[in-house]
Copies of this chain bind each other. A is one copy, B any other.
């Protein structure tokens, strides 16, 4: 008997016996961030609800998750609704709710997902693969005294753009390159790819070398892989790159890409992040 992976435990959803697309879950302490679950884990749960739905068509193409308010420790509910099913694409709306003090379900997360039946076509990538030494030659990051649980769940090997060690305002760029995978090996799937797309710490910290409060407001990830490409990765490392784009009056956006070790671009992701001066 093998132990259940922490990611699978955190993803576990129990379907409602009466409402299609309605699921019950519980937050995982293993993927806890500062004031709520790691946002990538929440994206994984959104996707898991869609992928578990009996009416699912195809595989995920796009996911947008809006973090409307912090998810609190404990039980939550997910509703995934296929609002439109076409011949080869399907459009989903999803929300996560939790009971308030009066027992009323309140929305804390909204999301949309597009799934599609893909066909083999011409392929190309117009983003060059960043140069990087092999993962074995890059030191694994320790999480230090931060006590942020979800960081323990990943094996992160930053190549460049480390979290600053001196918060002295000396930052001059916003790019991080990193090798990453689950700390306990687990074969890559869509839920873990969605989660890993939110792996990058707030670019404003790097750009300014200043530790200001920051949190993702909305993330959009596009999947450029099917089951064949995911299977080819298996438990291997992904090469991630993230850069800031525009920092303006309390919000900034960051763009990220994830490649397989063999150099296949598997996902591109963008997010807009709140920050405080």
A residues with a Cβ closer than 8 A to B are 61-62, 64, 66, 68-69, 83-84, 86, 89, 91, 93, 95, 106-108, 110-112, 114, 116, 118-127, 173-174, 203, 207-208, 217-218, 220, 222, 224-226, 243-251, 253, 255, 257, 265, 268, 270, 272, 274-277
- Check if B127 sits within 8 Å of A62, measured CB to CB: no
21 A–B contacts from the bound complex (CB under 8 Å): A68-B86, A83-B95, A84-B108, A89-B217, A89-B274, A116-B251, A121-B275, A122-B247, A122-B277, A123-B247, A124-B247, A125-B247, A126-B173, A126-B244, A126-B247, A218-B220, A220-B220, A222-B270, A222-B272, A226-B249, A245-B257
Cα A220 to Cα B203 in complex, Å, equals: 19
- For the complex, give the distance between the alpha carbons of A224 and B246 in Å: 7
Q: How far is the CA of A107 from the CA of B111 in the complex (A)?
A: 16
B69, B122, B124, B276: the one contacting A86 at CB < 8 Å is B69
> A207 to chain B: which residues have CB within 8 Å?
124, 126
Known: A83-B107, A83-B110, A84-B110. 12 other contacts (CB 8 A): A61-B272, A62-B218, A83-B95, A114-B272, A119-B277, A121-B250, A122-B277, A126-B173, A126-B207, A127-B245, A222-B246, A255-B268
Stoichiometry, as copies per complex, reads 2
How many angstroms from the CA of A61 to the CA of B225 in the assembled complex?
29
Contacts A84-B108, A253-B224; is A245 near B218 (CB within 8 Å)?
A: no
Expressed in whole angstroms, the minimum distance between the Cβ of A260 and any Cβ of chain B is: 12
Closest to A175 in B: B126
List of B residues within 8 angstroms of A121 by Cβ: 247-250, 275-277
Residues of B contacting A249 in the complex (Cβ-Cβ under 8 angstroms): 118-121, 123, 226
CB distance from A4 to the nearest CB of B (A): 32
Q: Across the interface, which residues of B come within 8 angstroms of A268, CB to CB?
A: 245-246, 253, 255, 270
State how many angstroms separate the Cβ of A213 from the closest Cβ of chain B. Answer: 12
Question: A114 to B173, Cβ gap below 8 A?
Answer: no
Instruction: Report the nearest B residue to A225, measured CB to CB.
Output: B248
**Interface-centre pick from A86, A91, A106, A225 (highest chain B CB count, 10 A):** A91
Question: In the assembled complex, how far is the CB of residue A169 from the closest CB belonging to chain B, in whole angstroms?
Answer: 10
What chain B residues lie within 8 Å of A265 (beta carbons)? Answer: 245-246
